[in-house]
Structure 1
Amino acid sequence: MFSHIMIGTDDIERSKKFYDTVLAVLGINEPVQNVNDTGQKRLFYIHNGSVFSVTEPINGEPTRTANGSTIGFACDSPEQVKEFHSVAIANGATSIEGPPGLRDNSTGKKHLCYFLDPDGHKICGMYRCN
């Protein structure tokens, strides 16, 4: 459905260190790095046909997060959801919406975790139960 998701950061090196470590839990390797035509540094994490990008804001203004938005990453097991959360918290994320665990609602059973990255973006790890 999506070709990519891109978020902003005010500290690209901090974001690289954070996402390199956290996304490694999901088997996502080092990002492709580049500088766009107007000089902003960007990171592109490419995995299984999807791209997650982090960029310095093109307009030069401070990064703002989107209230009400969540970026969800697929996990392979309930244990990976917990590890994803633990590694994120150990590397500067803030835990939100309770501890990782099983949730059962109208969209089915799934293991979830939620945290805010160092720039305040809401991130989710999810494993859907069969």
Structure 2
Amino acid sequence: MIDHIGFPVSDFERSKAFYTAALAPLGYGLVMAVTAEETGAAAHAGFGAGPKPDFWIGSGGRADALRVHVAFVAADRAAVDAFHAAALAAGGTDNGAPGLRPHYHPNYYGAFVLDPDGHNIEAVCHRPA
């Protein structure tokens, strides 16, 4: 079980705005932000669907750093579609339009975008239509 995940981004404010917009259709929002002064190192923003953040970004990353893949659970296929549209509108790049991915399993409905640093961000619904 994963408690939380995080990775560095090259432009903290740009990425914070991107994730605020892209994750809203999935019920995620900015839950907590800590400044570099508070941590003594980097600024961090924590997003979640409740009172506890489980997805974090932090300042100080390099745009040419190793890329990661993160998949967020969507309540339904409409939320996957809305995530994809919101992420593109917020500056993301299409990396796989919403649709079924039956090679994973018959009800795997996902969409993929690259965030401003090139991280592969996915929203997925495993429920039947």
C-alpha displacement at 1:39, in angstroms? 2.7
**Cα distance change on mapping 1:50 and 1:128 into 2, 3 Å:** farther
1:68-125: CA deviation from partner (whole Å, max 9, x where unpaired): x42000001111111100110111100013x211121253421110110011100111
Q: Does 1:53 align with 2:52?
A: no
- Structure 2 unaligned residues grouped into runs of 5+: none
**Cα distance change on mapping 1:88 and 1:106 into 2, 3 Å:** closer
Task: Give TM-score scaled by structure 1 length.
Answer: 0.84
* Count of aligned pairs between the two proteins: 124
Which protein is richer in strand relative to its size?
1
Q: Does 1:18 align with 2:18?
A: yes
5 Å-filtered alignment, 1:81-96, equals: 81-96=80-95
C-alpha displacement at 1:2, in angstroms? 0.5
> How far apart are the structure 2 equivalents of 1:3 and 1:78?
25
C-alpha displacement at 1:26, in angstroms? 1.2
> How far apart are the structure 2 equivalents of 1:89 and 1:18?
9
Verify the 8 A CA contact 1:85 1:100 in the aligned structure 2. yes
**Cα distance change on mapping 1:116 and 1:73 into 2, 3 Å:** same
Verify the 8 A CA contact 2:84 2:112 in the aligned structure 1. yes
**Cα distance change on mapping 1:33 and 1:92 into 2, 3 Å:** same
Q: Which residue of 2 is the match for residue 65 of structure 1?
A: 66
Query: What's the secondary structure of 2:23's corresponding residue?
Result: helix
Q: CA RMSD in A?
A: 1.9
Verify the 8 A CA contact 2:32 2:53 in the aligned structure 1. no
Verify the 8 A CA contact 2:45 2:58 in the aligned structure 1. yes
Which protein is richer in helix relative to its size?
2
Task: Give TM-score scaled by structure 2 length.
Answer: 0.85
> How far apart are the structure 1 equivalents of 2:20 and 2:55?
12
Verify the 8 A CA contact 1:92 1:117 in the aligned structure 2. yes
> How far apart are the structure 2 equivalents of 1:124 and 1:40?
25
> How far apart are the structure 2 equivalents of 1:55 and 1:41?
6
